[in-house]
Each structure stands twice: as structure tokens, then as C-alpha cells.
Structure 1
């Protein structure tokens, strides 16, 4: 069973799992409360569980289960790693999940005794070492994988189902990350000003007042990014406007 509140992340994991004949997906849930009800009713052997979700987070869900499946946590939050493994999970996948990393998890599931197996905290920390202070984001360009320095990113834009990184060299890179994941992974200098835009505050050249209280950010690459009305009050407070 997949329990994940982000539709795109849920679809991505479902698509990846479909490549494994030994995995049968019996249900999906889009929040913790729905996941709790489905687990207790359908009693799956294995769940892929997000941590930050509406109504109940992943740990709150586990605390209320009457049926205890094996757990693979899926999340963008590195800081939950130790607690996740204290909960006895089989593995811990950082989003966006890549097929080669998922493949290691599936092999681990097949090779170990699921009734007793769990990874140690030491093993987990070895797996995620260096990810807590991420300095780059990866993007795919054909057969190549490019490393984009976070400091080179001016703003991030969602267009339909795609997310692009706009960099200081004037280029536009397609990434597999969702804006929600990037909002949590990036440093505090990056702020979400609109449901479709994250900007690097170090790259703001000018701020103008727009229509209906919105703010218009003029960036170093001359891009103009408008805030949503719901975000404008917090942004005005942050920038002392």
C-alpha cells in the first residue's frame, strides 16, 4: 500500500513499483487518516509511508495501528531518519525516489526475513551521509546527470506537471523534484512566493507593489515573479514592506 499526500509523488512511486512482479499494490491513501483505515481493514504486508501528511503524520498513523505491516518510509525530510528507524522500518527512501535506490530496497525485502528485519541507525546514517547539508541538486540531461549548485539557482518555476530550475547562467533545467519537496530541502534563503514559484532571496534586485496587494519580485536575471495574495502578507512582514 502507498500512503502519500502528494499526487505526483504517489503516481511516481506507483509507476516504479509496477516494474516489480513480486509487488502487488492493493490500495493507495492520500492522507494519514485514510491510510490508517485502509491498513487496518486490508492488512497489507508492506506499506510505503510518507511522514508529513494531513490529519495524521506517518508516526501518528503507526501509533494507532491494530495491524502492523512492514514499513518503508518515503519522505523529503532527512531529520526524521533516526526516528523512522527507531520505529522499525525496513528502509528509508528520500524523495524524489530513484529506481536504482528503490531497487536496493526491493532486493533487501526479498533477501531478509521480514518478520524480524530492520536496519540499524548506523546503517541509515551511512546511507544518507552528506545529504543533510545538500549543496547541489541533480538534473538529467539525456544520458548525463548534471549537478546544479544551489547558490546558482535564481528561481524555481512549476509549469503544468514540470518543474524547472532557472540558473544564473541563463539556463533552464528540468528537475524531477516537486516544489513541495524543494520547499523543504532548500535553505531558508529560498522562499515560496506562489504555488508555482520559489525564489532565491539573495537574487532579488527589486520589489514592487502589484495588484490586489501582491508583490512583484524583480530578480537578477530580470525575471518578474509575482506573489500570490495568500502569501503577500507574510512576505511584506519578512521584507519590512
Structure 2
């Protein structure tokens, strides 16, 4: 799933620069552009973007006034040549404040902050405040880009040293995330995912076959054809499936 972006700046070259940097990362899409504050509000209401890149000094409403009137509460990154407005921007809970001209690396830092805020907001919208907060998206940092992976697309996860290897079934791809198996297991809903081995976590609904072994272990076959090993000590994770074999 891509994150939608609205770019607001009265300078065409500034908008083009942001568009170019975003084009280097496939997980973002530009839904609209505006060169003044009034159009920015109208387009924000129309498209409900995830991220807004917002200039300060523009015709009509200035950037700070636009921010105050936004109703959908997107992640806002200010892009301005004027440093004196930064304090006011952060007081309004801006994600970041980029001083023009900014480097691609600095832009990347701002994007990472925006993604973090979006994920935090999604996780805080659970209907039951007492329920565990399981993530719906993972942010993976690749060289020169940020990748958003929907948890609903994950088929299985394996250990890879200091990383976990996330296997996405719909696209037949895998992505490395710097995390531990224990930490990633806590982020996933146990009603959907099961830890079947110290080095494997699997989506239960992707299991198409179980082949019990002689020592309490089993081969777990997934719809993609992958065969994983379930250790005897993790057998309880799939107890309901083994019960159907009895």
C-alpha cells in the first residue's frame, strides 16, 4: 500500500524537487499539488493525504494557518527557507521542518519520521483500549528508501542473524528488517500468526498441509510451496490444527 502525498509550495522548482525525491521511492504517491494555502486546504479535504509537504510563505493562507485548519490530521513536513517559524511549526505538532535547500539524506529523515507517526496513529485507533497493540504495517529502511509492508501481506518470517526476513506472498518477495524474532513476534496478533520454531513465524491461514514427524515435530507446508519445520516445543502454537488430525 502506498502513502499519499500532497505538495504545497508556490515555487514550481521547489515542488519539482520534492516530486523527484519522492519518485525515488515506490511506496509514496503524489495525489495533488497546490501553489497557495486556499487550494491546499481544498485538496487536503478532497484527497485526505497521509503526508503533506507544506511551505510557509505562500499567497492566500500561509503554511501555519493551513496546518491549523487541516481536519484529517496528516503527517505534516514543513519545507521553508525561513528558520524563524520552526518553533511555531513544532508547537503545532509538525513531523519535521526542512530548511531549504535540504539534502536527500535530510529529506529521508523527515520521511522516516512521517512514517513513524502514521504507524503510531494507525496502532492507536484500535477499538479496545485494553487490547494488545499489534501493528498493521512495518517500516523497512532500505538504502535510499523507506518501504511500507502491510502485515496483512506477510506469509512467513524467518530469522536472519541480526535481522528478520519477511516473506510477502502476493508479490513473492522478501525484505530484511533489523529486528529480533522475539520482538517481531510481540508485534503480531497470535490469533493470526504462530511461532512454530525459534527461527520461524507463519501466518496460520497460509498453512495448507501438516506432516507430523516421529518426534513431535512436523513439516508445515504453505500455499506458496515453502516447507517449514515446526519444533516439538512449539507444537502448542498449532494445537487446534493438530487436534483436527486426531
Q: TM-score range by the shorter chain?
A: 0.3 to 0.5
* TM-score where L is the length of structure 1: 0.46
* TM-score where L is the length of structure 2: 0.45
